[in-house]
Amino acid sequence: MLRETSMLYKLTILYLLSKVDYPISSNSLSNFLLQNDFTDYFNLQQIMGELIDDGYVIKETLRNKTVYRISESGEATIRLLEREIAPSMRAEIEKYIVDNGMQMKDDLSVMSNYYQADINNYIVNMYMEEAGQKIIELNISVPTSADAEKICSRWYNSSEKLYPIIMKELLR
């Protein structure tokens, strides 16, 4: 890959990450770059690795989801170099955020994970967020990691049904 092309991809990713106030899932980032034929999957992985290694992007794993957010040095870099991105490209990124912002947030608004508290005791932590604020958080103790995995995977599909039931029951 040409050095200039690689630099443009990096700036594009930093610009996208700088325009949102929440981490972006790997899927959302990939969708933007791959659907618009900006690069291919292998180049994207290489570029992301370099951005992470250089300290411009922070990679985190939240319950089997890889998410990315811009670091302070990434913010400083994009402030200095954002004019290197064509205005049409910046507009396309901003349009993508407007058109897909809710979906990008939804990717991260329902989360669950678990940890082993002690022998035969796992704590499952589940929560829902709305506008960056937790609206419900539950911690449940279960005896096996298999139970914890099952609850985590079901929380994502069941949380929107369970939340109003819990609220109704607690507020009566």
C-alpha 131/C-alpha 153 separation (Å) is: 23
Chain segment 117-142, per-residue pLDDT in tens: 999 999 999 988 766 678 889 999 99
Residue 70: pLDDT over 80: yes
The confidence band for 107, taking pLDDT boundaries of 50, 70 and 90, is low
Spatial neighbors of 127 by CB under 8 A, at least 6 apart, are 110, 111, 112, 134, 136, 137, 138
Residue 34: pLDDT over 60: yes
Domain range annotation of the chain: 3-107, 109-171
In this prediction the pTM is: 0.64
What DSSP letter does each residue of 15-27 carry, written as one string?
Answer: HHHHT-SS-EEHH
CATH topology of domain 3-107: Arc Repressor Mutant, subunit A (1.10.10)
Q: What percentage of the chain exceeds 90 in pLDDT? A: 42
